């Protein structure tokens, strides 16, 4: 009797969990994580090789632009299949776009294209920001120099 009661409760909880996850994750999500206590967007990005831009873009409408509305247990998508850059660099004090691009063996244009949150003269980098440093282009916003 007790066993089936608890089994039934587990089924209900699992159903609720999948509904919540289904509401949260965009179509084509190929990686997801559950927010843990103390997480910040850039810490999640750094831990899972997701750019700051991509995490925000994929979770538009779920995370606000300042990323101050994360909650423990929230499920976030990290990337969409085919548009999921997982080669990243965490900006350190002293890094420049030139040094980051050179270290990654990519052009500045590729770096700027894959990270549309950077301005074209790259003066808005900040320590802890996570950049996509892949040589493949993942973002469909044309950078014009
Ligand atoms: C989240 O990712 C896990 C694998 O890490 C997967 O088993 C699960 O189905 C994903 N959740 C959703 C809702 O896609
Ligand atoms: C992130 O990338 C680094 C370097 O390529 C790799 O060693 C690490 O396993 C990756 N972490 C995850 C969670 O994919
Ligand atoms: C990035 O994703 C590709 C394709 O899923 C995978 O083969 C590769 O190991 C990943 N690289 C890292 C650093 O996680
Ligand atoms: C870029 O746009 C093209 C055409 O709309 C689409 O087929 C492709 O999947 C997009 N690529 C990325 C990385 O978003």
- pLDDT tens, position by position, 90-140: 999 999 999 999 999 999 999 999 999 999 999 999 999 999 999 999 997
- Going from the Cα of 33 to the center of ligand 1, the distance in angstroms, rounded, reads 8
Q: In ligand 4, which atom is closest to the CA atom of 82?
A: 13
Taking CA atoms only, the protein residue closest to ligand 3 atom 12 is 86
The more confident residue out of 130 and 15 is 130
Q: Exposed, middle or buried, 128 (CB in 10 Å: 0-12/13-18/19+)?
A: middle
In whole numbers, what is the pLDDT of the chain averaged over residues?
86
Task: Cite the DSSP H helix spans in the chain.
Answer: 2-24, 41-48, 52-58, 97-104, 108-114
pLDDT tens digits, residue range 16-50?
Answer: 454 454 456 889 999 999 999 999 999 999 999 99
Q: Which residues contact 105 (CB under 8 A, 6 or more apart)?
A: 135
**List of residues 6+ apart from 121 with CB closer than 8 A:** none
**Ligand 2 atom having least distance to the Cα of 88:** 2
Q: Which two tokens stand for residue 135?
A: 């040589």
Residue of 47, 51, 54, 86 to mutate, ligand 3, most atoms within 8 A of C-beta: 86
Q: Which residue has the tokens 């973002």?
A: 139
Nearest CA owner, ligand 2 atom 1: 49
pLDDT band at 1 (very low <50, low <70, confident <90, very high): very low
Instruction: Give the pLDDT confidence score for residue 36 in this predicted structure.
Output: 97
Ligand 2: centre distance to CA 49 (Å): 6
């Amino acid at each position: 009797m007790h066993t089936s009661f608890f089994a039934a409760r587990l089924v209900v909880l699992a159903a609720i969990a999948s509904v919540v996850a289904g509401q949260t994750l965009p179509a084509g999500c190929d990686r997801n994580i559950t927010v843990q206590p103390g997480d910040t967007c850039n810490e999640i990005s750094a831990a899972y090789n997701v750019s700051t831009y991509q995490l925000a873009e994929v979770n538009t409408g779920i995370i606000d632009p300042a990323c101050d509305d994360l909650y423990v247990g929230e499920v976030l998508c990290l990337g969409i299949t085919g548009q999921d850059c997982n080669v990243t660099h965490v900006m350190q004090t002293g890094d420049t776009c030139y040094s980051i691009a050179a270290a990654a063996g990519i052009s500045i244009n590729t770096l700027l294209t894959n990270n549309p949150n950077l301005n074209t003269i790259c003066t808005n980098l900040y320590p802890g920001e996570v950049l996509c440093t892949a040589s493949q282009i993942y973002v469909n916003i044309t950078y014009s120099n």
